């Protein structure tokens, strides 16, 4: 079943082939909307704006925290700072955080994935 989409989830680790037009291409598929790139796979993410990023939306990241050293958050076309409480919770879980534009986060994710690093990404789709 590797690479098959089930209920908004694709198991396995894949690089991002392209982004824009409101979505992403990866694993010979496309997804419209935002995504979480986790060690277990890629899942749909409800966030459409950086101001919507909260602990509840990042629960899948925290659930896999022991397998993640760095979380890249792509906040769309602009860099948007995250609330201090969210940053602190991730740090307490041992997860490093880097916030940047979605395009930069996607490119950085691909590089770190290629180096087999323990990386995850939360990417808001851009037009």
pLDDT tens series, the chain, 127 aa:
344 444 678 899 999 999 999 999 999 999 999 999 999 999 999 999 999 999 999 999 999 999 999 999 999 999 999 999 999 999 999 999 999 999 999 999 999 999 999 999 999 999 9
Reported pTM:
0.93
Q: What is the CATH number of the domain that holds 72?
A: 3.40.1230.10
Question: Is residue 79 domain-resident?
Answer: yes
Q: Give whole-number Cα distances, 32 to 3, 18, 60, 71, in Å.
A: 16, 12, 19, 21
Question: Is residue 74 domain-resident?
Answer: yes
Neighbours of 58 (CB within 10 A): 23
Determine the structural domain holding residue 59 and report its residue range. 9-123
Q: Which residues pair with 72 in a beta bridge?
A: 98, 121
Domain count, the chain: 1
Question: Cβ distance 125 to 48 under 8 Å?
Answer: yes
Question: Is residue 4 domain-resident?
Answer: no
Measured distance CA(76)–CA(17) in Å, rounded: 17
Question: Is residue 54 domain-resident?
Answer: yes
Question: Is residue 17 domain-resident?
Answer: yes
């Amino acid at each position: 079943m590797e690479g098959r989409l089930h209920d908004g989830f694709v198991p396995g680790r894949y690089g991002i082939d392209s982004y824009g037009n409101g979505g992403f291409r990866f694993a010979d598929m496309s997804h419209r909307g935002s995504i979480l790139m986790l060690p277990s796979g890629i899942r749909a993410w409800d966030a459409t704006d950086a101001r919507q990023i909260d602990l509840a939306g990042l629960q899948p990241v925290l659930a896999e925290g022991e397998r993640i050293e760095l979380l890249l958050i792509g906040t769309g076309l602009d860099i948007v700072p995250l609330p201090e409480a969210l940053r602190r919770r991730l740090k307490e879980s041992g997860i490093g955080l880097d916030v940047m534009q979605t395009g930069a986060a996607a490119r950085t994710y691909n590089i770190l994935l290629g180096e087999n690093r323990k990386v995850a990404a939360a990417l808001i789709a851009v037009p």
